[in-house]
Structure 1
Amino acid sequence: MSQPLLVTLLPSTDVDLGRWLLSHYGVSYRERPHAPIFHVLALKSWGVSAEGYPLLVSADRGTKSAGIQTILDQLEPKAAPNKRLWPDKMVEPERWKEVDTLQHDARFGIGTAVVQWSYWNLLKYKPVVWPSLTTGVPWYETLTLRLAFPVIRSLMYKGLKLDQSVADSALETIHAGFDRLDARLSDGRRYLVGETLTFADLATAASLAPMVLAQGYHGMLPLEARCPVFMQEIYKPLRQRPTGRYIQRIYDTHRAAQLLQLR
């Protein structure tokens, strides 16, 4: 019997957030990962835009949910009360707004900076980043990457508008984001909003996970020991901060043990 299919850009933070949502809501699936650049072709073959990842395709292949918000819109209303990640907007409008503001900052503010800094630096070290790009992808994507890695890297740098100044600014944004979250967590709270897990927690943990090399992230983060020393010197202090410890705790507590479901 067919399972729902998750079409992904393997290392993406939103993709790991999508995996996490499916696990949280109890949806079994198989993943079809793609390397950067190739994911655009894959998504277009399904009739969705280049930004439409992760793409959840129903078991009968008749329904396509492109992107995190569409997946949430499909699954959150059907969830049992103890599995819902969003407050009721009509009943708790202020709490709903707080969750929305935090998840947006994590994914599109700090998270964008994480992507910029990580890609700019990791793509310079092919052996370090290789598992993040090729684990489980079609053989022809791996072969093309092997033969034309400098070209793919240049296309990614160009597409993401990356250079050293962008990476430097991104790191400042990351540290400022950790400062804000550290301050929020300074009262000893377990979750970002209220006493229960919300989408803000999952979005923050997934979006910032690459900066602490979080265990439980399924996007094949690099081994720290293989990263250049200057990157290790960024990762280690961030991991030890309250936000770094919080990220790993959310993964440890709320990310169920699961094999990477590649197909």
Structure 2
Amino acid sequence: MSDPGAGAPFRLITIPFSHFCEKARWALDRAGVPYREEAYLPLAHALPSRRAGGRRAVPVLVSRAGAICDSTDILRYADACVPVEHALFPGEPDPRRAEVEALEERFDRELGPAVRRIAYFHLLPDEEAMFSVMRRSLRALEGAGVASPWWFGRGTFRAYFPVVRAIMRRMMRVDAAGAERSLGKLRAVLDAVNERLRDGRPFLVGDRFSSADLTFAALAAPLIAPEHHPVSFPPAGELPAGLRELIEALRGEPAGAFVQRLYRDHRHQRAGLRADG
């Protein structure tokens, strides 16, 4: 997880349970980039993000040189900190580079938004489940030395949540029709990944871990609940029944098993730094 030291040269502004933030967090951890994570609730993140030089979305990686405001750009930054043979993006003129980039772009465009809408569709009606997700996210960060923000507490959450829920439903179109469309997009991506894995390959492209693997695993994680995720998921009994059933079904697919294996074997693995740092 993040370096808790106050002297870390980077700040990572996140919603701690955001899968796009996990994508960036994973790449930075893998590259050994020291950073301090600053966690916010949804919507409360927008002002800190903009003040840091980003847009309203997170993650934002902040350094003395400026802000990096896109999860893929953060992956590319992290790639510059590791040896070429461990890079997430194959170097030119490697023909696999275009395939890796195309898969990552598809996962960002289709999988990420679909997973987010489906998860919120099930979680937003259930205040206790949402509080459990938030509580576990922040406790995981506390375990890495990150202090809980001022708003962490049931009383503050109860006052804040109804307003946030209404805004999120409207802004992200979190309704039954939207969730159904997102299920279709999720199914199309998972079917494609299941088909790709049919030949027993260890990774989505070639014989090494790439940004396609990292992005797929991170963005699918909220609907797979992998054991080795740094932000622990609530136990099944604390999740709404519909979400619990979906997670159980997806974990049994080849793509779900693939996500679980990547988290077990690669989430806490360091790629190594270049000799020149």
TM-score, normalization by structure 1: 0.89
1:62 Cα offset (Å): 4.4
Q: For the Cα contact (< 8 Å) 1:205–1:251, is it kept in 2?
A: yes
Whether 2:49 is the aligned partner of 1:46: answer: no
Distance 1:209 1:140 in 2: 26
Q: Would you say the 8 A contact 2:53–2:66 is kept in 1?
A: no
Q: Distance in 2 between matches of 1:2 and 1:25?
A: 18
- Partners of 1:131 and 1:28 in 2: CA distance: 28
1:74-105 residue CA offsets vs partner (Å, 9 max, x unmatched): 2323421232111123x12x311110111112
Cα deviations across residues 212-248 of structure 1 (Å, max 9, x unaligned)?
Answer: 1112223443322211222222111110110000000
1:14 maps to 2:57: no
| Alpha-carbon distance in 1 for matches of 2:16, 2:176 | 24
State the match for 1:25 in structure 2: 31
Conservation of the 8 A alpha-carbon contact between 1:20 and 1:255:
yes
Distance 1:6 1:209 in 2: 20
Look up the SS of the partner of 2:199 in the other structure.
Answer: coil
Instruction: Say whether 1:80 aligns with 2:83.
Output: yes
Q: Which residue of 2 aligns with 1:140?
A: 151
Question: What residue number does 1:235 align with?
Answer: 247
Question: TM-score with structure 2 length normalisation?
Answer: 0.85
Partner AA of 1:55 in structure 2: V
Specify the code of the residue in structure 1 equivalent to 2:116: V
CA distance in 1, matches of 2:184, 2:134: 26
For 2:203 and 2:244, locate their aligned partners in 1 and report how far apart those are by CA, in whole Å. 27
User: Which segments of 5 or more consecutive residues in structure 1 lack a partner in the other structure?
Assistant: 259-263
Structure 2 residue matching 1:139: 3-state secondary structure: coil
% identical aligned pairs? 30
Partner SS, residue 183 of structure 1: helix
State whether structure 2 residue 57 is matched by structure 1 residue 56: no
8 Å Cα contact 2:60/2:70 also seen in 1: yes
Is the 1:24–1:83 Cα contact (8 Å) retained in structure 2?
Answer: no
Distance apart, 1:7 and its partner CA: 1.0
**Residues 156 and 141 of structure 1, relative CA distance in 2, 3 Å threshold:** farther
Offset of 1:145 from its aligned partner? 2.8
Extract unaligned runs of 5+ from structure 2: 1-5, 139-147, 271-277
Matches of residues 84-233 of structure 1 in structure 2 within 5 Å? 84-89=87-92, 91-92=93-94, 94-133=95-134, 135-136=137-138, 138-140=149-151, 142=153, 143-233=155-245
Q: How many residues align?
A: 253
Measure how far apart 1:250 and its partner are. 0.4
In structure 2, distance between residues paired with 1:154 and 1:121: 14
The match for 1:261 is none
CA deviation map 1:90-128 (0-9, x unaligned): x12x31111011111212212211011111111111111
- Tell whether the 8 Å contact from 2:115 to 2:182 is kept in structure 1 after alignment: yes
